[in-house]
Amino acid sequence: MQSHPLRDQITSEVHSRPFQPFKAPLGLLHIAATCASDDRDALNEGLAKLLATLKIDAPAKKSGFFFASSEEYGVRYEPHNEFYTLTLYQYGSASIDTIATLWQPLPGELLSGVEIYFDVADTPKPDLKMYFGEHQVSGAEIMGGAAKLWTDFYPSDESGFVKIIVNDVSLKAFQAGRLLQRLCEIETYRHTALLALPEAQKLMPLLTQMDLQLAEITHSIAEQPNRPELLKQLMELAAKVEELSAETANRFAASEAYFAVVDSRLTELREDRMQGLQTVAQFMERRLDPARRTCKAANMRIERLSRRIARATDLIRSQVDLTIEQQNQQLLERLNDRSRRQLRLQAKLESFTIIVVTYYAFDLLERTIRNTVTEAPLRDDVLMGLSFSVPIIAGVLWWYVRKLLSHYGED
């Protein structure tokens, strides 16, 4: 038995992005950025320079996921379809002072950034105002009480990144790695999910206008079904809707997938409330859910509009079919009238035919008698009898003709 050609790829997929073990204290800086395919080479060069700056041995392959570290720093790079993420780790202290600006020379457009200060729980409680100012803070005990978390999800004035404080109560090394990665993914995917929001907000007035236009066309179809320009307007509207669907379908589908990832990562935090603070899940539900509903509503409105146009098209098709049936019925009625006229004409011709045939039959018999009967008295008597038999001849011919034409009458 031979191995399937994709067996190795399928087997290694579940291990392609492993979690790394970490211990507090450490500082973490995570960014997500878009990068055009033309800038991939420049990105690889920038990653190589970044690793060299941190004095970390470069991995053999930098085009895909990699994690490289030294005793003081770590670098995690992860490419995605429409963006890439880069995570920098500073070991030994809950600070990012030496890695705060190392990402800036990299190519691309920044989507989101997060700073995580991961410290041990036996240190003094962090001064939340020092990190978050006067902003409302969310916080919770997470991972079954193994850690504590505080954040305001608000970009800081200095770096523009969201700050998150995590205190390690009893986390194991791999638990800490999973927790830090989940927090980074929550921040990344909530931003990428919201890429569809401006598109949805721009579409809403246009979809409303299209809804009204379709309603007017449908009303006109009901009142004046035989206007050809209505079908043209409907086809133009259908083309616009399909164009919108083609332009936005991928964006809305990706947004829904990213929202699902955010929900999954929030569930994995296993939050327990802290007194006086809302949890991260509650913050996301109140702040993120309206945007999610807007994106979903825009996508659903496009689908519903497309279905309404299809129903309007079916209405026009039904009207066309009904018109054709009415025309066919009128044509059949005209054919029936023509057939009735032909039958009446046939009946008249039938009577005329019987008279003509009777005349020719009488003339034939008379000529035959005159040529065959030589005696004058006998010939006169026979001719006299022939003359009285004219009605009989006509009746026989009428019966014979009716018999010939009887099956045409049945048809």
Q: Are residues 38 and 165 in the same domain?
A: yes
Question: Which spans in 82-172 are helix H?
Answer: 128-132
Query: Residue 138: which domain range?
Result: 17-172
Residue 13 confidence (pLDDT) above 70: no
- Segment 374-385, tens digit of pLDDT: 777 777 777 777
Mean pLDDT for 386-406 is 76
Assign 302 a pLDDT band (cuts: 50, 70, 90).
very high
247 has pLDDT over 60: yes
Instruction: Decide which of 301, 328, 355 is a domain's last residue.
Output: 328
Same domain, 153 and 217: no
Domain assignment of residue 183, yes or no: no
pLDDT tens, 57-94?
A: 888 765 688 999 999 999 999 998 889 999 999 999 99
More confident site: 249 or 14: 249
CA 191 to each of CA 75, 187, 335, 373: distance values in angstroms, whole numbers, following the listed order: 22, 7, 72, 125
Q: What is the pLDDT of residues 201-214, one digit of tens each?
A: 999 999 999 999 88
- Residue 91's pLDDT is 95
Residue 51 lies in a domain: yes
Answer whether residue 235 is part of any domain: yes
The residue among 343 and 53 whose pLDDT is bigger is 53
Same domain, 25 and 141: yes
Whole-angstrom Cα distance, residue 142 to residue 125? Answer: 16
Check pLDDT > 90 for residue 32: yes
51 shares its domain with 166: yes
Report whether 73 contacts 84 (CB < 8 A). Answer: no
Report yes or no on 5 lying in a domain. Answer: no
The answer to which of 154-158, 263-267, 279-283 has the lowest mean pLDDT is: 154-158
In a domain, 260, yes or no: yes
Please indicate, yes or no, if residue 2 is contained in any of the structural domains: no
| Same domain for 121 and 74 | yes
**Tokens 């202290």 correspond to what residue?**
93
Both 252 and 321 in a single domain? yes
Task: Identify the domain boundary among 305, 328, 351.
Answer: 328
In a domain, 242, yes or no: yes
- CA distances from residue 301 to 107, 217, 241, 298 in whole angstroms, order as listed: 37, 18, 10, 5
> What angle do helix axes 228-269 and 173-193 make, rounded to 10 degrees?
160
Burial class from Cβ neighbours inside 10 Å (0-12, 13-18, 19+) for residue 228 reads: exposed
Q: Are residues 97 and 211 in the same domain?
A: no
Q: Which residues partner with 116 through β-bridges?
A: 28, 164
CATH number assigned to the domain comprising residue 235: 1.20.58
CB 179 within 8 A of CB 171: yes
Single-letter code of the amino acid located at 222:
A
- 38 and 134 both lie in a single domain: yes
Please tell me the least confidently modeled range out of 57-66, 306-315, 318-327, 346-355.
Answer: 346-355
Q: Using CB atoms within 10 A of its CB, is residue 145 exposed (0-12), middle (13-18) or buried (19+)?
A: exposed
Q: How far apart are CA 165 and CA 94, in angstroms?
A: 9
- For residue 408, pLDDT over 60 is answered with no
Residues 401 and 367 in one domain: yes
| 229 and 323 part of one domain | yes
pLDDT band of 371, cuts 50, 70, 90 = confident
Question: Which of 106-110, 128-132, 326-330, 364-368 is the least confident region?
Answer: 364-368
What is the total count of domains within the chain? 3
The last residue of a domain, from among 157, 172, 187: 172
- CA gap 161, 159 in Å, rounded: 5
Question: What's the CA gap between 107 and 84, in Å, rounded?
Answer: 11
Q: What is the pLDDT of residues 217-226, one digit of tens each?
A: 888 877 776 6
- Is it the case that residue 251 has pLDDT exceeding 80? yes
Do residues 268 and 149 lie in contact, with contact meaning Cβ atoms separated by under 8 Å?
A: no
**Please, are residues 96 and 144 in contact by the beta-carbon 8 Å criterion?**
no
Q: CB under 8 Å, gap of 24 or more: what pairs does 71-80 form?
A: 73/98, 73/99, 74/20, 75/47, 75/50, 75/51, 76/20, 77/47, 78/17
SS3 (DSSP) at 56: coil
pTM (predicted TM-score): 0.75
- What percentage of the chain exceeds 70 in pLDDT? 93
Locus of tokens 């087997």? 11
Same-domain status, 301 and 342: no
Q: Give the mean pLDDT of 314-323.
A: 76
Whether residue 11 is contained in a domain is answered as: no
Residues 29 and 150 in one domain: yes
Max Cα-Cα span within the chain? 160
Beta strands of 259-362 (E only): which ranges?
Answer: 272-273
